[in-house]
Amino acid sequence: QKEVEQDPGPLSVPEGAIVSLNCTYSNSAFQYFMWYRQYSRKGPELLMYTYSSGNKEDGRFTAQVDKSSKYISLFIRDSQPSDSATYLCACGSNFGNEKLTFGTGTRLTIIP
Amino acid sequence: DAGVIQSPRHEVTEMGQEVTLRCKPISGHNSLFWYRQTMMRGLELLIYFNNNVPIDDSGMPEDRFSAKMPNASFSTLKIQPSEPRDSAVYFCASSLRGKGLVTFGSGTRLTVV
C-alpha cells in the first residue's frame, strides 16, 4: 500500500462548477500537507500548504485536512478552463526535513 | 529569480549510454531534491541533499544511478549504463530548509531507446 493514495481520475467538470480533489495517507508521522498543480510538460508548482487540521483558503482554492481520518482535500470554486491540470497532493513529516511523499496526481479538465 | 534550472530539457539516448542531467537550484536554497515521474509510479524521490551533503538516497533505484552536488549552485544526476526502463521525466527541486516550500524545475524528459 502506498503511503499517499490519490484517485488518478481523469475528472472532467463544466466551467463554474465546484471541484473536489482528495487524498488519503497512512503515515501518522505526516504533519504538513501540500497541493501542487502541474500543467502539461511543466514541473509541479506549489498551490497551497497547511500543517494543521482544518481549512485554509486562498482565493478560489480551499485546502482541508482531517488528521483523525488521514484525509486531505482541495476544493476549487468557480472553476476555470485555466485550472485544467494535474493536481498532486504531498505530505511531509516536519519542516526541518522537506522530504515529501506525493500522490500519483489527479488529472482535471474544466470544460468551457 | 530564474527558479530551478534544469538541462537538458529533452534527452534521447541509446541503451547502454551514459546520461547526465544537470540542475541549478534557486540561489540561497540549501536543500536539493531529485525526483522521477512516470505514469505508473507518479513522482518518486530519488535523493536529496542538505548543504551539498546527500542525506537520503534510499530512492535511488540501483547502482547505475549516482548524484553529486559539488557546490551550492550545481547538482548532477548520472545514469550509467542507461536502460529503456529509465525513461521518465526527471525533476530537480530546491528549498530553504525549515521553510517547507519546495520549488520544482521544468524537468528533463529522458527517453532511452
* Chain A residues whose beta carbon lies within 8 Å of the beta carbon of residue B104: 36, 43-45
Helix then strand then coil, in percent of chain A rounded to 5, is 5, 60, 40
CB nearest to A95's CB, from B42, B91, B98: B98
- pLDDT tens string, chain A, 112 residues long: the values are 789 999 888 999 999 999 999 999 999 989 889 999 999 989 999 999 888 788 899 999 999 999 999 999 999 999 999 999 999 999 988 765 678 899 999 999 999 9
B70 vs A: CB within 8 A: no
- Coil, strand or helix: which one is A82? helix
Helix (H) / strand (E) element for A22: namely strand A19-25
B2 vs A: CB within 8 A: no
Low-confidence spans in chain B with pLDDT less than 50: none
B53 vs A: CB within 8 A: no
How far apart are the CA of A1 and the nearest CA of chain B, in angstroms? Answer: 12
List, for residues B51-75, the tens digit of each pLDDT value. 999 999 999 988 999 999 999 999 9
How far apart are the CA of B25 and the nearest CA of chain A, in angstroms? Answer: 14
- Measured CA to CA, the distance from residue A84 to residue B24 in angstroms comes to 29
Determine the pLDDT at residue B1: 65
**Using the beta-carbon criterion (under 8 Å), do B91 and A44 form an inter-chain contact?**
yes
* Chain B residues whose beta carbon lies within 8 Å of the beta carbon of residue A99: 33, 45, 48, 56
